[in-house]
Each structure stands twice: as structure tokens, then as C-alpha cells.
A and B are shown apart, each in its own frame.
Chain A
Amino acid sequence: MASLVLRRVLGALPVLLIVSLITFGMMRLIPGDPSSVIGGMSATPAQLEQIRRDLGLDEPIAVQLVRWYGGLLQGNLGRSILMGQDVMSVTLQRLPVTIALSAYALVITLVLGLASGIFAALRQNTLIDQLAMMLAMLGISIPNFFLGLLMIIFFAVQLGWLPTGGYVGFTDDPIGWLRTSTMPAISLALLQVGLLARITRSTMLEVLRQDYIRTARAKGLPERLVVMKHALSNALIPITTVVGIIVSLLVSGSVVTETLFSIPGMGQLLTQAVLNRDYPMVQGGLFLVTAFLVLINIGVDVCYSLLDPRVRHE
């Protein structure tokens, strides 16, 4: 177990190295610089020059690269140009927002996705099955920003049930958090719900055809028991692998959702940072998010290898 984790983490190191190199290179190639953002619209040309000098944007690339890796090795990701805070602390402020939103969306995904997938599989080829699969298809086909806009128009503007945007921290006010996070979480989750429902259904169908299910049925076990104990537990194991990918999709999807609903999470932060040319913020933030996703995937893989019956029964 420990050796497995170690092996996976070591295997991730070259990936992270390449990731850090790509993020560094990407930011240097983007035209424009943050002086125009700091200066705003009314900066005079002389002021822009002065800001650029202040920021040390004229340093040679090699110096900047050495500084980036030097900092990285010491766990120092630099300081956001526009916010003045260091990248790590900004990330630690914002990442929880994205994680909370993604967790909410993940709960929706798991509940709706698994339930409808299992249900559809058990009622294969009935109307319920077809309806569920049609909805799943709709889920994976509707763009999340479009769904978000429609929900804002309907639930926030027309009905006034939920706020149009903004964010309240869960620890500050759980009800406020629910009110501000529900629409974003739904619009974020729907794609994943559709995906998970489809995968759960096909995995279930496959498991239900297995010999041990037939044996269990032949033994005269009640159908409920067959489904709950044998089929479901075995179907869930391969589905575990999916969770890692779903988390990655949620983080990616949160970019648009957070922008649309004015939620101060990582997605909005990094999009803004790219648009504002906040080099250290993009480099450091993108690196941290990617590292976070890599870790999640390692965790999922480790869980999977622990759960997988083929491993267990060896």
C-alpha cells in the first residue's frame, strides 16, 4: 500500500515538472502585460511606463525562470501582482470555495447519477429506462453556461427565489451558502449526472449478466438482496474510478460557472488572472490546481486498487 502510493507520487513528479514548465512558458508568451490593468483606463502613457518598471517586467526570461523554480523548490509560488498577496494564501482562500461548490455538485451527481443509472438498469428497456436515458442525454448535451443563464432568468429574475449570484461561505451562513450555491451546483453537476447515469447503467447491466448474479438468483435469494448486495457492490467498484474524472470535470466546469454566478473561487480567479496578465498568480495557481487534481487521481487509483476484487481475491 505505502509502496503503491509512493510509486504513484514519484510517477507524478515528471508530470508536475512538465506542467510547471508549460504554465511558465504560456504566461510569457501572452501579449500585453498587467500595467494596463493596474493603470486602468485613465493611465497616461508615462504612468504605464513607470508601472512596468516598478513591476520588473523587463527582466530577462532566464532570470524569471530561475526565480520561478527557485521559489517552487522552497514552496514559494510568488506574489500576485494585482492582489499583492502571495499566491499560496490566495489559493488557500479561493480553493475551498471551488471545493465546496464541486463537493455540492458531486453530491448531486452521485445521488442523481447513481440512482437513475441503477434504476434504469433494473428496468432495462422499459419506459422508465428510456426516460432516464433521455434525461441523461439532455444532461450531457446542455451547455452549463446556457443552463446557468436560463436558471438565472427563471429562478432568480422571474421568480426571485434565489440570488442571481454572489457567494456566502458555508461556515459563515450555511443557509446563505445553500441559496447562493444551489443554482451553480446544479448547472455544474448536470453534465456529470448524465455521464454517471449512463456509465452506472451500463456497468450495472454488465454485472447483472455475470455468473455470480445468476448463481445468487438460482440459489433463490430475494431479488432485493441480489441487487443490493451482489450487483450494486460489484458495480460500484469500477464506478469509483469515475469519481476522479468527475472531480476534474467539475473543477474545469467551475471556470464558467464561477464567472457566470460571480463566485470567488479558483476558476474565476485564474480566468481573471489570465485576462489581467497576473503572471505569478496564473503560474502558481494553475500549478497548484493541477497538482491538486493529480493528487485526487492518485487517491482514487489507490482506493480503486484496494477495492478491486481482483486485487482482493488474489
Chain B
Amino acid sequence: MVRVRLVPIGLAAAFLCSTGLASAAPFKCPSVGGEFVFGQEANVNSLDQPASNTISTRNIAMNIFETLMTRDENNNAITDLAESYTESPDRLTYTFKLRQGVKFHNGKPMTSADVLASFDRYNKVGLERGMFKNVAGWDAPDASTFVIKMKQPQPTFIEQLSSFSVPIVIIPAEFKDDPAMQLHVVGTGPWQLVDFTPGGQVKLKRYDGYTPNTKYEERTGFGGYKQACFDTVVFRIVTEAGARVAGLKTGELQGVEDLPTKSLDELKKDKNITIVPLPNWWIQIALPSITNPPTDNLLLRKAIQAALDMDEIMDAATDGNYKLNVGFQYPNQPSYTDVGKETYNIKDPAKAKEYLKQAGYKSEPIVLLTNKDYTSMYNAALVMAEQLKAIGIKADLKVVDWPTSVGIMTKNEPGWNFFFTGYGTQPALGALATMQFFTPPNANYKPGEGKDDPEIIKAWDDMNNLPDPKDRQAAFARMQKLILEKVYALPFGALTKVQGVRANVQGYKSFRIPRMSNVWFTK
């Protein structure tokens, strides 16, 4: 679990960055120049990072903007625009020292006034401003110091602050009043915006005034020592999977995301192409409404749980590129636990039918609410429906578009039983971020207003507030077990997303965003 490592870091504060830093020379681009064209699957509407939670925005924006703190390659919290930070002994004050010499793309130096303004704006339009509910205020005592004061100690605060889900990017103070979605795209990152055609492409160029973080010698996660090697980078929106494959083959695109599994065999044979798999991209999942009958009946939910064959579901969802996975974290994460594994991938029709009988199931329809916009969700629902039919459940599909399905789920309208989605960013951020989904208001299993499962709420409180990280981890394990045993969720498994680059592209490592820094063309 992330915070297991975080707390010692928090206490050791200022030392952390200076430790383990090598004396060797930092990364230098082996070759400089060229234009890298990346085929992005999803349309991007806005580059206003604080106001947008979509992957497509983050993909691009996080090459332009930087944050005080972020996560490294292994998801540990690290400083980026902050030089260091300290936590006061009473755990009520965090003091950040800013890195010197950092300039925005408009040439102005970054100071604590900009950080203050960025936090102010985030507090108005930032999608995760809920993380500030325990914050008493912030201040900029001098040009290179930024202070956050807490109302009460919150062991998980740094974990939230460094989250890359909707990062608190640092923008010039003059843009602090930009309304949501209308942020001027000026950051401190190695890339600066050239032009942006919504629905078409986003073009970036190297920012020559970039000041890398010399505490590191290599890029790590969203931070580290970053260098722009290409002259320009173009994110081109290519929604057709076939067109992305073709573009990569012909060299029209130098990198693409989301290659269909079916094309991989052939692409692997092509020596001009390097395949970059990105395992654990998201947890494919179905969430019940425990207020809509008949899934208000635990025994019926258990029958469904017992019937499912996760291999078959995940195979269809991903065309075969997946890993079976218990629960809400991935095995490569410190917080991973397989408690509740006895509820996973049971595929026992006899047992399922027995539960059905106990539940007194009388052929009421079970409606699977899915969408066509995300193929994997649609495919998973299609196969799950087949498996339910096989044990004698009357399973119906309700296929709508993504906004409609979210609307129906959020309002908990009648007439649906399972909502299909994927948990992408949150599991990667850690257990705390993921388990938020099961907490009020409007928890994902739809308990109804004020009727949240008290055991779940207790576990959540413990996850947040217990001082010892071990206890917090135990609380997470307890919460996962509860959710699985009460069938508040049906996590199917982990989906692998596959990216690909041309073979002459070096330094491209799979990560949650396509990082354009420290990547270069071989000559």
C-alpha cells in the first residue's frame, strides 16, 4: 500500500530527495529532433487539467503541466516542482520549498504566488477539491515557500495531494480566474502547446526554457529528470482502431495507444514496430444496485457471483489480453491483498443454482446496464448475460451510450441491476482512491441515501484515520472482503492495454500516460 511507504517519507521529509541520488550525469538526449506523432484513441475536449478527469486530457496535459508532488514509477509520492517538504510534528502544517529557476512557458519565473493561485483555482473548479475538506488554509510566506495548514491530522493527505487522477497542476497566477474548461494552457513542463484543434490534434513543441529536476537523473513516473528530445510532438485523435494499426504499420504514426489484441500477432512480426504492453490498465467490473429488485437479494447476488467464469468474460472483454485479478488492487502493488478470493471466479453452476433456489428466484429479469462506447464493457456484459442464462436466470441487456448509462446508475433509476464500468486510475493510485467508490454519498453499490452498509463505513473510516499504516491496510483488506462477500461489486479481472511505437523510437516505456520526455528517435 502506498502510504506504508509514505509515512516514513513524510516524517523524514526534507531528506528524502537528497538520498540515493547518484553522482552520475543526468539523462541526456542521445539524439535531438524530429516530430513524434502519437495516435490517441479518445477525443480530447479541453486541456484544463484540474477541471477534467478524462484519460485523454491527462495523456496530453501532463506533458505540459507539472505539480508540486506526484508519483514515481512505483507509485510512491515524490516532489516535482517542490524541492522538498516537511510535515510539522503536530502533523497540522506542510511546508513546501519550491524548486528554483523554474519558468513558465510564457517566460515568467514560478513563485509561491503561482502555487497559491493554482491551489485557489483548484479549490474553485478542481474536480478533486474534496481533498481540501480537511485543509484550514494555505499561505505563501515567501517567494519560494508554500504552506498548507490542516484542521486536523490526516495521515493520507500527501497520498491525496500527489494523486495523478486530477492533478493540482501549477499555473501562472494571472490565470487563476479562468473558468472551468477555459484554462490558458501555460505550464512549466518540458513541452509547450503550439496549437489545439479539438477533435483533431494537439501539437506540442519543446520548451527551451525548461528547468529539469536535478534531484533525479532519469524520468520516473510523472516526475524525475525530464528532457524533451523531439522538436515537436503531435497527439492525433484516431478513433478507429484499424486506422491506428494501419498508421503504425505505415509509419504515419510513430506511436499509438490501444492496439486491438487481434492485430498483435501480425504487429509483433513487424520488425519496424515495438509493442509496449501496459498491464493492469483497469479493473473490469460490474456493480449491482442493491436497491433495485431482484438484486436487493444477497442470495441472488451470490448465485450470480457463483455462476461467473471470469476467464471467459475477460477473454471477450479484452480479446484475450488480461490477467485474472482478485479484488481492487494489482499484485504488483504493496497494498494488494487476495482476501475474498473464494468469492472470485467460482464458475460453479450447481452451487449457483442452489443459491438461486434459496433466493426464491422466480425468473424476474436481471438487467445488465452497459454501453457501446467502451467495447470491453459491452463485451463483458454480453458474456455475463450468456453465463447467467445458462443457470436459468432471465438476463437482459440494456445497452445505451456512456452518459446515459452513468445517468441511470447515478440516479439509481429502476429497471437495472448491474452497471458495467472499469476502475482505471483509482486502483493504480492505491487502495484509498479505489475504495472511495464504495463510500457515501451515492456509493457505487447503490445502498440508497443514508442506508450505507455500516460495516463498510467503519472500514473506510479506519482506512483513513488509523495512525498505523498496518492497521489502515488491514482495514482495506476488511473492506475488500466485505464488498466481495456481500457482492457489492463483481471485479472481473485486470485489463491490459497495449501501446506500440515504431522501432526507431527509443526510451518509450509503458506508463499510465504516454510520456513524451526522455524519448528519442535513433538516427
Contact = CB atoms under 8 A, between A and B. Distances in A.
A44 interface: yes
Interface in B240-273: 240, 242-243, 245-247, 249-250, 252
Contacts of A215: none
B410 A45 contact: yes
| CB-based closest 9 A-B pairs | A84-B181, A264-B200, A36-B406, A45-B442, A32-B403, A32-B407, A164-B243, A264-B199, A40-B54
A167 interface: yes
Given A45-B444, A262-B238, A272 B43 contact: yes
Contact of A84 (B179, B239, B247, B441): B179
B280 to A, nearest CB: 14
B403 A276 contact: yes
A153 B250 CA distance: 13
Contacts of A263: 200
Interface string A267-287: 011001001110000000000
B125 interface: yes
B380 interface: no
Contacts of B443: 45
19 contacts: A32-B400, A36-B402, A37-B403, A38-B54, A41-B421, A41-B422, A45-B442, A47-B127, A80-B45, A83-B45, A84-B183, A93-B197, A152-B246, A160-B250, A164-B242, A264-B237, A272-B43, A275-B402, A276-B45
A293 to B, nearest CB: 21
A51 interface: yes
A48 interface: yes
A5 interface: no
B499 to A, nearest CB: 18
A272 B56 CA distance: 15
Nearest to B244: A164
A85 B47 CA distance: 12
A165 B246 CA distance: 10
A42 B238 contact: no
A163 interface: yes
Q: Which of B400, B407, B423, B425 has the most CB of A within 10 A?
A: B407
B456 to A, nearest CB: 14
B363 interface: no
A291 to B, nearest CB: 21
Nearest to B42: A40
B181 A33 contact: no
B403 A42 contact: no
Interface residues of A, number: 52
B238 A83 contact: no
A156 B242 CA distance: 10
Contact of B407 (A31, A42, A90, A160): A31
B327 to A, nearest CB: 17
A46 B243 contact: no
B52 interface: yes
Interface in A180-200: none
Given A38-B51, A50-B127, A164 B401 contact: no
Interface in A78-110: 80-85, 90, 93-94
A167 B181 contact: no
A49 interface: yes
A157 B410 contact: no
A11 interface: no
B424 interface: yes
B426 interface: yes
B49 to A, nearest CB: 12
Given A46-B442, A165-B238, A276-B403, 5 more contacts: A32-B408, A36-B402, A38-B52, A262-B236, A262-B240
A47 B275 CA distance: 35
Interface of A: 31-51, 54, 80-85, 90, 93-94, 152-153, 156-157, 160, 163-167, 259-260, 262-264, 268-269, 272, 275-277
Contacts of B31: none
B238 A157 contact: no
A82 B181 contact: yes
Contacts of A269: 198-199
A268 to B, nearest CB: 6
Contacts of A264: 197-201, 237
A49 B182 CA distance: 21
A43 B198 contact: no
B30 to A, nearest CB: 29
B198 A83 contact: yes
B390 to A, nearest CB: 29
A41 B424 contact: yes
B488 to A, nearest CB: 14
B89 interface: no
Given A43-B53, A45-B443, A49-B441, A84 B403 contact: no
Contact of B401 (A38, A40, A165, A275): A275
B20 interface: no
Contacts of A47: 53, 127-128, 130
A223 B45 CA distance: 60
B426 A166 contact: no
Interface in B43-64: 43, 45-46, 48, 51-55
Contacts of B410: 36, 45, 48
Contacts of B405: 32
B213 interface: no
A32 B197 contact: no
A82 B238 CA distance: 19
Nearest to B55: A40
A83 B127 contact: no
Nearest to A94: B199
Given A32-B401, A262-B240, A42 B441 contact: no
A42 B442 contact: no
A84 B125 contact: no
B242 to A, nearest CB: 7
B406 A54 contact: no
A90 B240 contact: no
